[in-house]
A and B are shown apart, each in its own frame.
Chain A
Amino acid sequence: MTEHRSDLAEQKLSTLTLDGELVEFTKGETIYEIANRHRKEVPTLCYDERLEAFGACRLCVVEVEGIRNPVASCTTAATDGMVIKTSTEAIEKHRKTLLELVASENRNVDVNALSGYSSQEMTILVDRYSARTGRFSGKQSGTSNTGDKNPFILRDYDNCISCYRCVRVCAEREGDYAINVMNRGFHTQIITEFNNDLRDSNCTFCGQCVQTCPTGALGDKKALRDADTEGEIKKTRTICPYCGVGCSVDMLSKGDKIVGIQPAMDGPANEGALCIKGQYAFDFIQNDDRLAKPLVRREDGELHECEWDEALDRAAEGFKKVKDQYGRHAVYGIASGRAPHEAAYTMQKYIRATYGTNYIDNCSRS
């Protein structure tokens, strides 16, 4: 077998000049990574730090002394002694022109922020560069797939800018290769194999393509149900409630309504990844089947809603009665593997402190 794969060659620090300042970098870093680290705000649309750099959008170009044409900083490895300018008049003009082209080509520059984690990237850049000039308005590329009736992923390719982030995240991060690119240039179209609906492809509906899309061409259909709901979008960092991986997510809410989920790109367990359950199976929380009040079984043998005091009194009385009649080993507690620590801790304490037994378990045996 191979040598231990984590054995990396010793890394040596080098230096280059970034906007007049001497900075250190590690061999293998790209100009974009170094500029980003120094908060240069180099614009990008095809860049997702989790993916291999792609060099498609050309917004990240910079000037490198000794090289005639501007270079794409995301795909250019830094070398010792490089002299780089991340923002010159010529480069800014080039960036604005590109954004004017992109803005003109898309049906909507403004998309709802519920579309996805990265959905505002293009809008923000278009505004930063005052690129809503309509200078190039005319033909538009991309054809929306309105036939795919899946309830999760909006495929509004009229807004596609061919950055391929969706295709790349599906391949590089998920390993699913569910989508690919058909045709090139103005006729580029993101499709599944045989152009089927996503349901009939390798797609697992993890939503990663949606969350990396910088234009809202791919949108979170479930979250967008609340596009017109009143209120600001609030993000609350929490952990997914399904399996044991413990993915970090941001729960999106408007007022007291939960409207969607976005992956936390800095989540330590998932680094931005999610699956269909964590991404889309959140609305059980505010489902009408939820228990809104305590229930007690009355003389008619049926469960009836009641106030908390009555229910808690009944709960305690029942336990007292059993304890008095049959002794302290007649009561058993089953804690949840789904509820937080505080639930499990108080459950075991309740049993041990009240009955002096270890008659407590959880659901891990089945």
Chain B
Amino acid sequence: MSNPLADMEKPDVIFAIGTNMTECHPVAATRLKRALTDGATMVVVDPRKTRLAKMAHLHLPIRVGSDVALLLAMAHVIQRDGLIDESFIAERTADSEAFLSHIQQFTPEWAAEICEVPAEDIERAGKLYGRGNPSAIYYTLGITEHICGVDNVQSLCNLALMTGNLGLEGGGINPMRGQNNIQGAGDCGAVPANFPGFQPCDNPDNAAKFAKLYGRDSIDAERGITKVTALNEAGKSIHAMLIDGENTVVTDPDKNHCEHALKSLDHLVVIDIFLTETGQLADVVLPATAWGETDGVQANTERRVQRLRKAVEPWGEAKPDWWIVSEIAKRMGTPGFEYESAKDVFNELCELSPIYAGLDWDRIDEGKYHWPVPDKEHPGTPRLHEGEFKNGMKGLFKVIGYRDPAEVISDDFPLWLTTGRRLEAYHSRTQTGRSAGIEYLLSHESLEVHPDDADSLGLVHGGMAKMASARGEIEIQVKVTDKSPKGTVFTSFSFANVPVNILTGSGYDPVTQTAELKVCPVKVTPVA
């Protein structure tokens, strides 16, 4: 997030797109609810009538995967009505001319055809966002899990740049991170593009620096392949994997492909707290400590770096992840893994990461700091982009066009499937599914189908249905509800007995290789 969570109580206009916040980030949503009580106006863009959508002053149930068209038309309205921030554009951005001329062709009427919502609503959304003082954008995986995820994000950036809604209290562009420490995994350099602290791998100076720090002659001065590519290469160029705490075969798209990929490895080592579906394919499974059993650090969605503390002794012989990885490294003869505590590891990270340079284990005791914290005197950065962008750089407008999803509905697969999460379940339920009481509220998976679709397809509430995509089929119980719009069905991927990711995986964003989990054409038929 560009802005701290506390700012969520302060926008004038809230623009929430592709975020089912009351279910996926419920505590953050309470802040938006308070902003609404205080008089803020909220626009929600989501195909489904989520709880957040019901609270909105304006809800745009756009067709899945049509976000870019909507955002282009909103930009069109903002420019047409003179709601752009001329001085912000002049002082802090570049490439505005091309963008501002590009958007002239994308009228609300044009977008209405693609998004399947009224042009007047698109018009109103543009005006509300453009006039908000300030307006804040909130988004989640409904924006990123598309073949055009990067285009979606850049379209949102364009809106914020043209209206100057960056670096302001209560404004900004705010992606809500889905996992407790997915921010931290990136911060620590567990990505193919960056060393710790987002230092690019394809910069030879960085590669040389880390080679020296890590006791090697060299480290490749180029990006590594992504996980998606690595899974495609399994059994071809990739022959061994070390997977820590991820149930890849349930949570990743195209389950059959993924399972096949892991089975084709010569060597698979999995570190986890349970014997997951992924662990069952491994050659070696190493038991890790769970929450409450080890000290550590995690970074939240507002870049706040906070301490996890050990409360009880680990289960059985479980060991902290860092200890396990270090023991493997030592056995490989790799130097530099003589850590005695989580503190040792974290302090090494702080020494190597410019955004953590002002932090250490003791300084983050109270969780006061938001990175970047470039030195020990620095108070941290709750709000990014105040006054200027990083290193005085310009905010770049991007010229973006609308593209259809990787697969579109057809006679064979006439319904859009979109997937997501539910309040009571977390991912593949390895944790929530083993917590007493949760099943009282959420005992099984269901497919949300609009009443009109249920009628035309002969589906009954509570009955079973077969749902097929180009990749496979599953059986699932039907829930008839107008929460899903006509023509779109919804389910989550939480239940292993309804492996919806057998169906997904139609395409990937060309830049990030994020899977298009939010769009998958399907056919749904009743099971007798």
The residues of A with any CB-CB pair to B shorter than 8 Å are 1-6, 149-152, 172-175, 199, 204-206, 221-222, 234, 236-248, 251, 253, 256-258, 267-270, 273-278, 280-287, 289-297, 303, 308, 311-316, 318-323, 325-326, 329-354, 356-366
Contact = CB atoms under 8 A, between A and B. Distances in A.
A253 B311 contact: yes
Contacts of A360: 189-192, 224
A308 B314 CA distance: 15
Contact of B185 (A285, A335, A352): A335
Interface in B432-481: 432-438, 440-441
Contact of B131 (A1, A236, A294, A320): A1
A316 B180 CA distance: 29
Nearest to A281: B435
Nearest to B515: A366
Contacts of B193: 358
A205 B39 CA distance: 26
A93 B335 CA distance: 72
Contact of B435 (A244, A284, A341): A284
Residue of B10, B219, B311, B320 ringed by the most chain A CB atoms within 10 A: B311
A290 B346 CA distance: 27
Contacts of B210: 352
Interface string B266-291: 11010011110001101111111011
Contacts of B41: 1
Contacts of B279: 291, 295
B34 to A, nearest CB: 7
Contacts of B98: none
Residue of B226, B239, B368 ringed by the most chain A CB atoms within 10 A: B239
Nearest to B135: A1
Contacts of B430: 284
Interface residues of B, number: 162
Nearest to A236: B311
A281 B292 CA distance: 13
Contacts of A333: 190, 241-244
Contacts of B57: none
A258 B319 contact: no
Contact of B329 (A173, A286, A291, A350): A350
Interface string B34-52: 1011111100000000000
A283 to B, nearest CB: 5
Given A284-B435, A341-B299, A336 B423 contact: no
Given A285-B292, A303-B280, A245 B328 contact: no
25 contacts: A172-B37, A199-B441, A222-B437, A239-B306, A243-B24, A243-B180, A245-B28, A245-B176, A268-B304, A277-B426, A281-B426, A287-B434, A291-B316, A292-B287, A292-B318, A312-B331, A326-B237, A333-B190, A341-B184, A343-B245, A361-B190, A362-B186, A362-B190, A363-B182, A365-B228
A351 to B, nearest CB: 8
A356 B218 contact: yes
B337 interface: yes
B179 A331 contact: no
Interface string B1-43: 0000100001011000000001011111010011011111100
Contacts of A234: 311
A152 B307 CA distance: 28
Nearest to A3: B133
A150 to B, nearest CB: 6
B188 interface: yes
Contacts of B27: 245, 247, 269-270, 273-275, 278
A318 B283 contact: yes
Given A175-B33, A360-B189, 4 more contacts: A246-B301, A277-B432, A303-B282, A312-B331
Contact of B284 (A283, A295, A341, A342): A295
A322 to B, nearest CB: 4
Nearest to A152: B437
Contact of B239 (A1, A5, A253, A325): A325
B423 A248 contact: no
Contacts of B332: 316, 319-320, 350, 354
A97 B227 CA distance: 68
B158 interface: no
Interface string B355-395: 00000000000011000000000000000000000000000
Contact of A239 (B24, B214, B293, B307): B307
